[in-house]
Amino acid sequence: MNFYTASSFRNIKDVQFINDRLIKQGHHLTYDWTQSERLDTPAALQRIGQLELDAVRASDCLILVLPAGKSTFADRLSRLYPSFLVIDQDVHARFLNTHYQKLLPLDGPNRLKHQLTDTIVEHARRQSDLHLIVCNANLSKKQRIRFLQQFPKDQYRTILVHFDLAEEVLLARVDASIKDRAEIRGAEDYRQILSRQRLERPEPDEADQVIRIRTQTDIESFLQDTAWFINEKASKGPV
């Protein structure tokens, strides 16, 4: 059997364990991304992204090691398209919690985090020609509309990617998470945050395109099908 194991870098030890066990049983790993260093040059990222895509296509079995969510999806997308830049709000939250915790409110909106994200997005808009993958959990329609107002419709093409996962799947994922909670303020855990959040599903008129992801198969189909990116040379915009 040909197989490929997908996950984020934080699960690299688990992925290596799975790969070793299956290889010892006589199965063939189509590509071992754990042997690659973290790369940041466009050419290197494109090469690795293509290797990963080819590996998925050549596999009889695709293994996804959780937790692996929107950040992993954004990372894979940026590897396939070097002109894409990932702006991950969880990274900003971790940075602030680590270095500027005293400036953060104990409860209520984390305005400093949102201001940091907005500043980076604004700089990327004005100082680069990159396509932006803005990776955050804008659960309410009001939040999404506020954010997308930064991108004039005559200059940008916007795509909302909606991970439409069942509640029991989300709960299982947070229970299995091994993240260190560095992006969370206070004493809450991921399950408590999930329980108080209420998702407003994206409507078709919120962006130029709304893409619904429900399974790993949907992710692979999205990554292999470039039809959604047909206007790359004509426009730029956030995903």
| Domains of the chain and any CATH numbers | 1-65 (no CATH), 69-239 (3.40.50)
Looking at residue 42, its pLDDT comes to 62
Quick one: average pLDDT of 65-70?
62
Looking at residue 234, its pLDDT comes to 40
Instruction: Evaluate if residue 191 carries a pLDDT over 80.
Output: no
pLDDT in tens, 22-39: 999 999 999 998 887 665
% of the chain at pLDDT higher than 90: 10
The sign one gets for the Cα dihedral 124, 89, 65, 139 is: negative
Instruction: Evaluate if residue 180 carries a pLDDT over 60.
Output: no
Kindly give, in sequence order, each residue whose CB lies less than 8 Å from that of residue 231, ignoring residues fewer than 6 positions away: 157
Assess contact for 154 and 234: CB atoms under 8 A.
Answer: no
Quick one: average pLDDT of 167-193?
58
Looking at residue 199, its pLDDT comes to 67
pLDDT in tens, 91-141: 888 899 889 989 988 777 788 988 999 999 999 998 998 889 888 776 688
Looking at residue 235, its pLDDT comes to 45
CA distance readout (Å), 5 to 2, 9, 43: 10, 12, 23
CA angle (39 as vertex; 177, 10 as ends), nearest 5: 10
Q: To which residue do tokens 């400036």 refer?
A: 103
More confident residue, 197 or 90: 90
Instruction: Evaluate if residue 201 carries a pLDDT over 90.
Output: no
- Among 207, 222, 237, 204, CA closest to 80: 222
Looking at residue 37, its pLDDT comes to 67
Please state the pTM of the whole predicted model: 0.62
Radius of gyration of the chain (CA): 19
Looking at residue 189, its pLDDT comes to 59
Q: How far apart are CA 221 and CA 95, in angstroms?
A: 33
